A and B are shown apart, each in its own frame.
Chain A
Amino acid sequence: QKEVEQDPGPLSVPEGAIVSLNCTYSNSAFQYFMWYRQYSRKGPELLMYTYSSGNKEDGRFTAQVDKSSKYISLFIRDSQPSDSATYLCAMEAGGYNKLIFGAGTRLAVHP
């Protein structure tokens, strides 16, 4: 079993839809949770960074962490074609350990 599970998709939605992206994990030591967006042939861009459980909102993006269920989510409201990219979840146990990445979910938002 992988430490972090993420459905690779692809996920195709119409413009304006609400997108839900998810990851599950097995290591209860993870405390820091991140979502990165990666466009084709580019480096990942940090979208959201959360510590422990709870919600965090930034514009059209909302990150949720449920440590009791070992489940994290990223919601994108009013999705745009420019949101078409691969979204990677990542997590870390803390103490400056290495990031553990999910496989990445490819999202396509069509006009």
Chain B
Amino acid sequence: GAVVSQHPSRVICKSGTSVKIECRSLDFQATTMFWYRQFPKKSLMLMATSNEGSKATYEQGVEKDKFLINHASLTLSTLTVTSAHPEDSSFYICSARETPVNEQYFGPGTRLTVT
């Protein structure tokens, strides 16, 4: 099956700093990537949809200036958490849609801890 990687797998940062998370589709091209957030024992919460070469579409309640998304190529999307605070600590997961089919494949996730 299609493989999606994320880097880093876990990161600890201090409050007020910015953190960048990378999401790559390793063996397919993905015109659309998605960023999710997941709290312990909860389902995934979609944050934004990222289309290659265009601005991301954010879900209601997600601050676009805080969670910067860039989808510069068909295999790479990045999520930057700016001025991170402890409440941003969470498990961030990306997924990529293999075009032209509809299947969506997930990365292994990035655990962010803000101290």
Interface, chain A (partner B; CB < 8 A)? 32, 34, 36, 41-46, 49, 88, 92, 94, 96, 98-99, 101-104, 106
Report the Cα distance A87→B44, complex, angstroms. Answer: 12
Please, how many angstroms separate the alpha-carbon atoms of A32 and B43 in the complex? 19
Contact (Cβ within 8 A) A102 B106: no
Interface residues, chain B, CB within 8 Å of chain A? 1, 4, 6, 32, 34, 41-44, 46, 49, 91, 93, 95, 97, 102-109, 111
Give Cα A34–Cα B41 distance, bound, in whole angstroms: 20
Residues of chain B with a CB closer than 8 A to A46's CB? 1, 103-106
A41-B91, A88-B43 known; A99 vs B104 contact (CB < 8 Å): yes
Question: Which secondary structure dominates where chain B touches chain A?
Answer: strand
Chain A residue with minimal CB distance to B109?
A: A43
B109:A96 contact, CB within 8 angstroms: no
Please tell me if the beta carbons of B97 and A43 are within 8 angstroms of each other in the complex: no
8 tightest CB-CB pairs across the interface, nearest first?
A: A43-B106, A43-B108, A43-B109, A44-B106, A103-B43, A101-B43, A43-B93, A43-B107
For A88, the chain B residues whose CB sits under 8 A away are 43-44
Question: Which among A41, A44, A103 has the greatest number of chain B C-beta atoms within 10 A?
Answer: A44
- Whether B102 contacts A32 by the Cβ 8 Å rule is yes
The answer on a CB contact under 8 Å between A98 and B111 is no
